């Protein structure tokens, strides 16, 4: 089978799904690798490097005509997905739970859609394939840097002849993969860090990074399935927002990372909480996306300054801005997944395999992944954690 590596089509995304280092690995499994010309340029991987590793450099049209599996990171734009044909596979972070109609469209075309966000992440043998984790890790690192860059003072305690600067106080809301990496990076820059999550089991991880875990008295633990958080009820949400507001006002930089699978990100920082922050404070909203964000008034990929002088940065796609590291990690993840699913140089779909049952969304003209199928059947909780 030929694996075709697309150039990413999301504006501003400089990543690429496969790096030259992984070409030999795929070829060793009997796969041919096609790379769209210029696909790696944004991440500093030249066509020549792919060619030296044994890939063929092709146009996008050639790739779509020849590849048995078309690989990208984010879902490609419609003129690409609309050109896929029966029997072809599309691999990437396709996010079918946010747009099940896309899965229906792929099934109708007879395309095998393989979405890496469906991976059973707690399965030890799947960890090398976990692109959500690898990209969240990169994004969390960048969030701390973005916060530091937008902040008008130092992060570390600095004692100089010109005076003493107190360390910045950073608050991280949501301490999954991205939040923990943001904590670690802000700590390495010298900030004093506090953090909060609705899953109290993250407390020890937060503390092991040298940060203080904030426990709210108004909201109980809200762990859901598979290590994720559950969505809060309306009264819990309001109590959480009100209690968090007091903590937010006492911090210089707030980084929010909260997500609930299959749902819009929870609002953690209300308009009132933003208004209560001191001028010069910074909020980095990693939840900001088309469905909304964790922070009232944040706009995706945009930096705004409120009337009271708070910089609010909508930063839902930060992994795309650290393209070389993010691409290298994604390439390892997608290569591991392809090698898991390929035998004798061909993709073998086996829905009895736990990994494939999670990632294979459509096959043979049907939506086969249960969570996506449930959403399409009209069950609003089909894709969400309970």
Tracing tokens 């049907």 back to the chain, one arrives at: 366
Q: Report the length, in residues, of the chain.
A: 386
The binding track of 126-165 with respect to ligand NAD, each residue x by CB under 6 A or -, is -x--x-xx--x-----------------------------
The answer to the question of residue 329 lying near ligand NAD (CB under 6 A) is no
Of the listed pieces 40-48, 193-201, 305-313, 359-367, which binds ligand NAD according to CB under 6 A? Answer: 193-201
Six-digit token string for 305? 């300054």
The answer to the question of residue 98 lying near ligand NAD (CB under 6 A) is no
Six-digit token string for 380? 């609003």
The answer to the question of residue 256 lying near ligand NAD (CB under 6 A) is no
Q: Which is nearer to ligand NAD, 227 or 380 (CB)?
A: 227
| Helix H or strand E encompassing 3 | strand 2-5
Shortest gap between Cβ of 180 and ligand NAD (angstroms)?
8
Question: Helix, strand or coil for residue 298?
Answer: coil
Of the listed pieces 102-110, 187-195, 252-260, 295-303, which binds ligand NAD according to CB under 6 A? Answer: 252-260
Of the listed pieces 61-69, 119-127, 149-157, 295-303, which binds ligand NAD according to CB under 6 A? Answer: 119-127
Of the listed pieces 27-35, 92-100, 101-109, 255-263, which binds ligand NAD according to CB under 6 A? Answer: 255-263
For residue 66, the number of C-alpha atoms closer than 13 Å in the C-beta half-sphere is 19
The answer to the question of residue 257 lying near ligand NAD (CB under 6 A) is yes
- Classify residue 190 as exposed, middle or buried by CB count within 10 Å of its CB (0-12, 13-18, 19+): middle
Q: Looking at 266, 289, 293, 383, which residue binds ligand NAD (CB under 6 A)? A: 266
Shortest gap between Cβ of 127 and ligand NAD (angstroms)?
5
Tracing tokens 């130092």 back to the chain, one arrives at: 154
Question: Helix, strand or coil for residue 162?
Answer: coil
- Classify residue 41 as exposed, middle or buried by CB count within 10 Å of its CB (0-12, 13-18, 19+): middle
Number of residue whose CB is nearest ligand NAD: 176
SS (H, E, C) 118-154: HCCCCCHHHHHHCHHHHHHHHHHHHHHHHHHHHCCCC
Of the listed pieces 20-28, 84-92, 94-102, 167-175, which binds ligand NAD according to CB under 6 A? Answer: 167-175
The answer to the question of residue 258 lying near ligand NAD (CB under 6 A) is yes
- Rounded to 5°, the CA angle 81-86-91 comes to 50
Contact residues: ligand NAD, CB under 6 A: 121-122, 127, 130, 132-133, 136, 173-179, 197-199, 202, 227-229, 232, 257-261, 266, 268
């Amino acid at each position: 089978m030929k694996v075709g590596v697309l150039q990413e089509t999301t504006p501003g995304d400089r990543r690429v799904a496969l790096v030259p280092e992984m070409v030999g690995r795929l070829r060793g499994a009997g796969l041919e690798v096609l790379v769209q010309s210029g696909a790696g340029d944004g991440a500093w991987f030249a066509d020549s490097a792919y060619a030296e590793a044994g890939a063929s450099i092709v146009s996008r049209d050639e790739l779509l005509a020849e590849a048995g599996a078309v690989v990208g990171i984010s879902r490609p734009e419609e003129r690409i997905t609309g050109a896929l044909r029966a029997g072809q596979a599309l691999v990437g972070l396709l996010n079918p739970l946010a747009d099940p109609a896309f899965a229906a469209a792929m099934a109708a075309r007879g395309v095998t859609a393989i979405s890496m966000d469906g991976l059973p992440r707690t399965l030890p043998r799947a960890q090398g394939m976990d692109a959500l984790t690898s990209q969240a890790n990169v994004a969390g690192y960048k969030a701390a840097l973005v916060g530091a860059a937008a902040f008008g003072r130092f992060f570390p305690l600095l004692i100089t002849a010109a005076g003493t600067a107190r360390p910045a106080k950073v608050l991280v809301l949501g301490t999954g993969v991205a939040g923990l990496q943001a904590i670690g990076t802000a700590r390495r820059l010298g900030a004093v860090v506090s953090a909060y999550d609705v899953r109290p089991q993250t407390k020890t991880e937060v503390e092991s990074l040298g940060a203080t875990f904030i426990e709210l008295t108004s909201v109980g633990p809200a762990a859901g399935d598979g290590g994720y958080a559950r969505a809060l009820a309306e009264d819990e949400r309001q109590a959480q927002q009100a209690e968090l507001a007091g903590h937010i006002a006492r911090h210089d930089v707030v980084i929010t990372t909260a997500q609930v699978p299959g749902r819009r990100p929870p609002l953690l920082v209300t308009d009132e909480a933003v208004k209560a922050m001191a001028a010069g404070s910074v909020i980095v909203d990693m939840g900001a996306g088309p469905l909304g964000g964790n922070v009232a008034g944040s706009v995706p990929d945009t930096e705004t300054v409120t009337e009271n002088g708070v910089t609010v940065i909508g930063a839902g796609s930060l992994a795309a801005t650290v393209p070389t590291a993010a691409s290298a990690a994604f390439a390892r993840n997608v290569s591991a997944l392809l090698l898991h699913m390929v035998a004798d140089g061909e993709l073998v779909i086996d829905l009895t395999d736990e990994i494939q049952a999670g990632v294979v969304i459509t096959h043979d003209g049907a939506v086969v992944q249960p969570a996506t199928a449930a959403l399409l059947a009209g069950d609003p909780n089909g894709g969400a954690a309970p």
